[in-house]
Chain A
Amino acid sequence: METLLTAFLASTVRTATPLALASLGEGMCERAGVINLGMEGTIIAGAFGAAVGAAAGGTVLGIAGGALAGLVVSCVFGIFAIWLRTDQIITGTAVTLGALGLTSALYRVTFGTQGVALSIPTLAPLPLPLLSSIPVLGSAFFSQPVLTYIAFVLAPVCSWFLFRTRTGLIWRATGESPEAVRSAGGRPVQVQLLATSLSGLLGGLAGACLVLSQVGTFADGMSAGRGFIAIAVVALGRWHPSGILAASLLFGGSSALQYLFQAAATAIPYQVFLALPYMMALVVLTSGRRGHAAPAALGGKLENSLS
């Protein structure tokens, strides 16, 4: 029973990690008033960048490649949606579709139809001294690849930045009322471009996580909707970094539970289990307190943005 519980918790953390990275990026972006529907594209680009980087020069280059590819994709989104003021929803969708197609094509060009198979070096788990020897929890939470720890440390860092620093205040104000920020002498366009870049960096890391700490290869479309789930996770976490981390873990947990239920050989149709994480998200979304609402200026366009 203990091994099964450990297996469940470890699976929860593994499933939650890429989701947490992407959702934190998306959450920071939305806090600045930008809804980045290009997140799915950012993740798949990150996965591809990580595969190329790792195949060329090991896992460190893989992480860098993933982050860089994510950054490039989000910059494309940023240039159009923020600088040129195109509609964020449409631009984000276009960026996602474009990145999904482009990574498939580039993958074929780079590695041929045989692909990289399972030859990419992967990140070994990095057990933390002492903590990893805690029974049950230790091996699940403290014996994970480095990207997992980055996700966990990032949540409090983002919280501190948003709520304890002056830049964080301007960042949040941009999401609520960019006009007010501008009249106070701030630069909302710069803030939003920065926020979008950060979301790209983290989305890229989420993709790198799929390749480097999970599967050990690239597969077309392996982001499998995580970018869209991230947008739901942000709402579920009430636009607060620690809430987002908790929501990612909840989603990871219900996915892990789903995997275990399916594997436990029951007569219930598997589609019921597949729907489980989404049903759980709906329940939480509708039952929660109406605390933090979405940033007021979310998805809006900046007028006279070049001022």
Chain B
Amino acid sequence: MRIPHFLSAFAAALALACTGDRSKDADASTTFRVALLTPGPITDHSWNAGAYSGLLEIRDSLGAEISHIQTKTPAEFEENFREYGKRGYSLIFGHGFEFQDAVRRVAPLFPKSVYVVTSSQLAGPNFAGIRFAFEEPAYIAGMIAASVSRTGVIGLLGGTELPPVHAGFTAFRDGVRRVRPESRILVSFVGNWDDASAAKEQALAQIAQGADVIFQNADAAGLGVFQAAREKTGVVVIGSNSDQNGVAPDVVLGSVVIDLPRAYLTVARVIRDGRFTGSVFELGAASEVVRYVANPAMPGRVPHAAQVTADSVWQAFVNGSFHLDPDEATRETSR
């Protein structure tokens, strides 16, 4: 008698599963479903962590059903974009410039979904890039770094030289030179975004060359830069992408923040309300998505006069009376 019992239970479960599935399918047309592909771990306190908080914000504020997946290779980018398209997701984020080729290929196949690539200039009927004016707060950070440095040597440390990273570094350098034209600027790249140990050694190498302010943009590897600064007295770090002031409050001067949660929410609202026009989402100083956040645990480190100047330049960015030429940064990258 046991077997039939088991069988009927199994059949009941199967039937339940089927109806469950059907109701979900019916829901699919009405619920707002949002997916996110990140190029790295969401535990990096930086670029990927910010995107994931954005996704959670979309769930909490807009009641969306969400899904996240971590991807590594371009083949995986395409595969997962297809998969989410097939499953009828309304909005699919590819978190970073490196996703744009995959979106260009996959998006036309799934016209009902909208694909959004962060840090990209992409635009089409159902896909678009978000362009963060990261270079505006990076410029401010450069001005502040120059006013804080005692040695006049300033380090830049990145993961790999992606165009958005390059643009940020170029603006930072311009900011430094505006305040101290004679300062020496060192640039190092780890070659990947994971090797925190190598990033730490590279930071130490820059410190050995006299650098006492380091602007890092290396995601998870960047954690090594904070550790290097902790071991050497008088060295401060400027963080990137997320507000990293709390990661190492004793050595972080401030962070060049892209408020990814706010940006994701802004974009998701536009898509949900059907206001998407097929053009690039331009998010700069005026949108409050990008900004420089000073570390509150390190007060009085920046000279007052320098802070006032930096604030006035920031106001000029906000009201549009001063802007950097993004084309110049892009052109230099394509060398």
Contact with B along A241-263 (1 / 0, CB 8 A): 00000000000000110011011
Cβ-neighbour of B42 out of A4, A113, A274 (below 8 A): A113
Complex contacts, B43 vs chain A, CB 8 Å = 104, 107-108, 111, 113-115, 219-220
Contact with A along B166-199 (1 / 0, CB 8 A): 0000000000000000001111110110111110
Minimum CB–CB distance for B61 against chain A, Å? 18
Contact A215–B194 (Cβ < 8 Å): no
A117 at the B interface (CB under 8 A)? yes
Contact B197–A215 (Cβ < 8 Å): yes
Cβ-neighbour of A210 out of B197, B226, B247 (below 8 A): B197
Contact B49–A113 (Cβ < 8 Å): yes
Most A C-beta atoms less than 10 A away, residue of B185, B220, B221? B220
Contact A220–B220 (Cβ < 8 Å): yes
A221 at the B interface (CB under 8 A)? yes
Instruction: Name A267-307 residues within 8 Å CB distance of B.
Output: 270-271, 274
Minimum CB–CB distance for B70 against chain A, Å? 8
Contact with A along B25-51 (1 / 0, CB 8 A): 000000000000000111111000100
Minimum CB–CB distance for B182 against chain A, Å? 14
B224 at the A interface (CB under 8 A)? yes
DSSP class of A's interface residues: helix, strand, loop or mixed? helix
Cβ-neighbour of B226 out of A15, A118, A214 (below 8 A): A118
Closest to B52 in A: A113
Contact with A along B300-332 (1 / 0, CB 8 A): 000000000000000000000000000000000
Complex contacts, B263 vs chain A, CB 8 Å = none
Cβ-neighbour of B188 out of A18, A215, A256, A263 (below 8 A): A263
Contact A215–B202 (Cβ < 8 Å): no
CA distance A15 to B199 in the complex (A): 11
Instruction: Name B130-188 residues within 8 Å CB distance of A.
Output: 155, 161, 184-188
Contact A216–B227 (Cβ < 8 Å): yes
Complex contacts, A222 vs chain B, CB 8 Å = 194-197, 220
Minimum CB–CB distance for B192 against chain A, Å? 6
Contact A224–B195 (Cβ < 8 Å): yes
Minimum CB–CB distance for A147 against chain B, Å? 13
Instruction: Name B221-235 residues within 8 Å CB distance of A.
Output: 221, 223-224, 226-227, 230
Hey, which bits of chain B sit against chain A, CB under 8 A? 40-45, 49, 52, 70, 155, 161, 184-189, 191-192, 194-198, 200-202, 204-206, 208-209, 211, 220-221, 223-224, 226-227, 230, 246-248
